[in-house]
């Protein structure tokens, strides 16, 4: 695990809204951008930006379903990433 990798991971979790998204997806499973935005009380645009950061960091998977993209926690998280998510969701 490199310093650059750790920096990317910690930066992706460095905002309250991203932590709320992680916690929400831990309990709810696959959700659309609009459902997530409504639950965390944020605009669609801002929610989308947060989801992109979390996805690029490897925390989320995205599945296209007709007109909606569904986001869920990534299936292939490392044990370190799972540990961080456990801290967030407790």
pLDDT value of residue 78: 74
pLDDT value of residue 54: 94
Strand partners, 65: 68
In the 3-class helix/strand/coil scheme, how is the chain assigned residue by residue? CCHHHHHHHHHHCCCHHHHHHHHHHHHHCCEEHHHHHHHHCCCHHHHHHHHHHHHHCCCEEEEEECCEEEEEECCCCCHHHHHHHHHHHC
pLDDT value of residue 83: 75
Q: What is the pLDDT of residues 9-57, one digit of tens each?
A: 889 989 999 999 999 998 887 999 999 999 999 999 999 999 999 999 9
CATH topology classification for 3-89? Arc Repressor Mutant, subunit A (1.10.10)
Q: What pTM, to 2 d.p., does this model score?
A: 0.86
Q: What is the pLDDT of residues 58-67, one digit of tens each?
A: 899 999 988 8
Does the pLDDT at position 87 exceed 90?
A: no
Cα distances from 50 to residues 10, 33, 42, 56, in angstroms, run 14, 10, 10, 10
């Amino acid at each position: 695990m490199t310093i650059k990798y750790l920096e990317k991971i910690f930066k992706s979790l460095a905002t309250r809204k991203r932590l709320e998204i992680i916690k929400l997806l831990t309990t709810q499973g696959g959700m659309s951008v609009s459902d997530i935005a409504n639950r965390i009380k944020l605009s669609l645009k801002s929610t989308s930006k947060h989801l992109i950061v979390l996805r690029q960091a490897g925390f989320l998977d995205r599945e296209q379903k007709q007109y909606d993209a569904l986001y869920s926690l990534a299936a292939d998280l490392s044990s370190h990433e799972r540990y961080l998510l456990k801290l967030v969701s407790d």
